[in-house]
């Protein structure tokens, strides 16, 4: 899928690399600091739907330009909504799209090459991993507009950093730097050299893991966070993975002391 746009309207594109095993979702509205509109959310959802049924094994979420990952929702756009429309359309669509991103069976990485605030940070929180440039800043400033994070930020941030730090970030509207975010567990790694090189290393590591086992493990972690008993989920998942081609390839490689070659999605 490729959707192109000109000017300040914004677009979302999907690019495939590494033999089709890596997909990059690119949000491009650099002229407006990658602020998100309803149409861009629709485009993003279509890109996610395309990836869901593909041979992709790793998903990168990137934005255009430099210094700003995304400032989040387009304030000028949502300021025109009535309260019912805000509830039904803006918040409802944002939740649906970000939830769908979070539910992708492939591992996802948000590449934070600059400022990620408001809905931009919430978008990154919907990914499995976050890798940040050393100059990135993160925050949820919605309280300054008389509103709250509305695309799952209160829940996902709390799950990552705990209630106390989530309250600090949301209630004070403070922006934290990348180093603090890493200390808190909000980002997985800060790149003090090349951000692309750091991302590339993560992609290499992810592609080197058996894809079905990897995707099942992602679901197990999500299920555990929701309170599912590991004794049940891991037993079922282990039985399932033991019947896959990836398991046979991995076991054979281990016994032969060679590097495994995984083919299954």
List the one residue out of 25, 63, 67 whose CA is nearest residue 44: 25
What residues pair up with 2 in beta bridges, in sequence order? 13
Look at residue 2 and tell me whether its pLDDT is greater than 80: no
- Alpha-carbon dihedral of residues 46, 47, 51, 52, nearest 10 degrees? -30
Q: What is the pTM of this model?
A: 0.93
Look at residue 232 and tell me whether its pLDDT is greater than 80: yes
Q: Domain-by-domain residue ranges, the chain?
A: 11-207, 211-256
How many C-alpha atoms does 201 have within 13 Å on its Cβ side? 9
Check 142, 182, 245, 256 and give the catalytic one: 142
Mean pLDDT of 79-107: 90
How does residue 264 score in pLDDT terms, banded at 50, 70 and 90?
low
Mean pLDDT of 162-173: 97
pLDDT at 78: 75
Tell how strand 22-28 and strand 11-17 pair up: antiparallel
Tell me, yes or no, if 122 is annotated catalytic: yes
Tell me, yes or no, if 256 is annotated catalytic: no
Average pLDDT, the chain: 93
pLDDT at 5: 41
Q: In what order do the strands lie in the sheet with 114-117?
A: 67-70, 114-117, 137-139, 176-177
Look at residue 4 and tell me whether its pLDDT is greater than 70: no
Tell how strand 176-177 and strand 137-139 pair up: antiparallel
Check 45, 122, 198, 245 and give the catalytic one: 122
Strands (E), 163-219: 176-177, 189-191
Per-residue DSSP letter, 2:
B
| Angle made by CA atoms 63, 143, 30, in degrees to the nearest 5 | 20
The CATH fold of domain 11-207: 2-enoyl-CoA Hydratase; Chain A, domain 1 (3.90.226)
pLDDT digits (tens, 9 = 90+) for 13-42: 999 999 999 999 999 999 999 999 999 999
How does residue 265 score in pLDDT terms, banded at 50, 70 and 90?
low
User: 31-45, 84-98, 113-127, 146-160: which has the minimum mean pLDDT?
Assistant: 84-98
pLDDT at 55: 93
98 neighbors 41 (Cβ within 8 angstroms): no
């Amino acid at each position: 899928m490729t959707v192109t746009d000109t000017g300040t309207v914004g677009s979302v594109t999907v690019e495939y690399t590494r033999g089709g095993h890596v997909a990059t979702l690119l949000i491009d509205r650099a002229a407006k600091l990658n602020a998100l509109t309803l149409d861009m959310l629709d485009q993003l959802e279509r890109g996610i739907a395309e990836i869901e049924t593909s041979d992709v094994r790793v998903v990168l979420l990137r934005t255009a330009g430099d210094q700003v990952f995304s400032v989040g929702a387009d304030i000028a756009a949502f300021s025109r909504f009535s309260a019912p429309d805000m509830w039904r359309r803006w918040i409802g669509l944002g939740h649906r799209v970000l939830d769908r991103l979070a539910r992708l069976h492939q591992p996802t990485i948000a590449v934070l090459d600059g400022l990620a605030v408001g809905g931009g940070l919430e978008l990154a929180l919907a990914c499995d991993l976050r890798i940040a440039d050393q100059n990135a800043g993160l925050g949820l400033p919605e309280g300054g507009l008389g509103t709250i994070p509305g695309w799952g930020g209160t829940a996902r941030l709390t799950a990552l950093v705990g209630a106390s730090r989530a309250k600090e970030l949301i209630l004070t509207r403070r922006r934290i730097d990348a180093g603090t975010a890493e200390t808190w567990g909000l980002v997985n790694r800060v790149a003090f050299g090349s951000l692309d090189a750091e991302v590339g290393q993560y992609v290499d590591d992810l592609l080197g893991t058996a894809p079905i086992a990897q995707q099942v493990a992602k679901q197990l972690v999500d299920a555990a966070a929701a309170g599912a008993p590991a004794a049940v989920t891991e037993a079922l998942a282990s039985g399932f993975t033991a019947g896959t081609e990836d398991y046979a390839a991995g076991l054979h490689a281990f016994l032969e002391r060679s590097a495994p070659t995984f083919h299954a999605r």
